[in-house]
Amino acid sequence: MSLVELIARADERALAAGGLACLDRCLPLLGGDDEVLRPLWASLADGSGWAGELTRARDLLGAGRPAGDEAALLVHRMLESAPAERTADALRPWADACSVASLGVHRLLDPAAGDDALRADAGDAGASPLVAAELRRQAMVLELLADHGAQGLRRALEVTVEGRRVLRAVVSRRARNTAEAGARAGL
């Protein structure tokens, strides 16, 4: 099943987890603590509301502040646009937008990515490695929730943490390359 179909069929919890997972994997671009979104994950597990935790995360991550670059701006938009009301109708467009934004972030950060990097199917050979991995993670999170309900949240979080580590390494490498280029230019 394609990512588009998975989002279309997802229930409220899967949509919230899908959007939250995209945001969480992109967290290194906001410089936030890895645990800042954990209370939102906990609210999905226990079924409680997440509006208060969402406000707290926005405050901690500086939502609304100008972002440093296009990729960080996409992540800020994901956070800013998260609905306080956790219903399928409110979450579906957000989860879809988060999917696209996260793929855009990965495309922007992947030096191997070209204009055709955003594909609707994770199996598409035309996607760059970083984008293809993000597509697989997004599909896996939605499949875990569809197949296992609330019990799939732990594994979905594990998949998300793995993706965040990968993106953190990419961001770190990008910062080193920028610093080295700046040092060479200053010679």
Tell me what the pLDDT averaged over the chain comes to: 89
- Averaged over 22-48, what is the pLDDT? 94
Residue 137 pLDDT > 60: yes
Confidence of residue 122 (pLDDT cuts 50, 70, 90): very low
Q: Is 62 helix (H, G, I), strand (E, B) or coil?
A: coil
Over residues 154-167, the pLDDT tens digits come to 999 999 999 999 99
pTM comes to: 0.89
Cβ–Cβ < 8 Å for 77, 53: no
Please give the Cα distance from 101 to 108 (Å, whole number): 10
Q: Between the CA of residue 101 and those of 25, 26, 61, 94, 150, what are the distances in Å?
A: 11, 10, 17, 10, 25
Dihedral sign for Cα 26, 32, 37, 38, please: positive
Provide the greatest CA pair distance for the chain. Answer: 57
Cβ–Cβ < 8 Å for 152, 144: yes
Residue 149 pLDDT > 60: yes
Confidence of residue 183 (pLDDT cuts 50, 70, 90): confident
Residue 3 pLDDT > 50: yes
Q: Is 143 helix (H, G, I), strand (E, B) or coil?
A: helix
Over residues 53-112, the pLDDT tens digits come to 999 999 999 855 555 689 999 999 999 999 999 999 999 999 999 999 999 999 999 877
